[in-house]
Amino acid sequence: MAVKIRLARRGRKQKAIYDIVIADARAPRDGRFIEKIGSYNPGTNPSSVVLDTAKAVDWLLKGAQPTDTARSILHHEGVMLRKHLQVGVIKGAIGQDVADARFEEWKSSKTDRNVSAADSLSQKLDSAKQAKLDAERKVNESRADAIAKKNAPVVEEVVAEETTEEAPADETAADEVSAEDTNEAPAAE
């Protein structure tokens, strides 16, 4: 029986999450599997992987063949390196303590790289957000200036018209009221 390490899709449409499974090569993609050893979510930034590395190394040593995507994930998580070091221990080329020391050294450097990449990503996002806010602030200021320029002459003209026309406007209004009163009185008779 040919055994594969591959991904089995789950999740909803456009939001895929994958299980990393050990399955018979003849079984369907999302069908029957022997064992689930982890999960992979490409929707997060950076993509998240939860993996039982000991089981993965054990299956690789038993002869399970990973698919291309599964191999990439296993390589990224250090499973392929651990398997390589373990083969060296089995052949007697290196000792178990040396293999463990090399793996821990790789793991710490990988962690440092991941932390620095996450920091640079967060700094880039923060600077992009700040640039967007600055651009929006400039647009808002230009809009406010345009509105102020548009409304400023109108306000001055209205104020000027009100001050010059207030007195005559009151007299004409009083004349109109008295004319209406006189017109209404003959109509009533």
In this predicted structure, what is the pLDDT of residue 181? 54
Model confidence over 48-74: pLDDT tens digits? 899 999 999 999 999 999 999 999 999
Model confidence over 116-140: pLDDT tens digits? 888 888 888 889 999 999 999 999 9
Kindly tell me the sign of the dihedral angle through the C-alpha atoms of 94, 95, 98, 104.
positive
Three-class secondary structure of residue 136 per DSSP = helix
Quick one: tokens of 151? 């409304």
Model confidence over 13-47: pLDDT tens digits? 999 999 999 998 888 878 888 999 999 999 888 88
In order of their start, the domains of the chain are: 3-94 (3.30.1320.10)
Model confidence over 136-156: pLDDT tens digits? 999 999 998 888 888 876 556
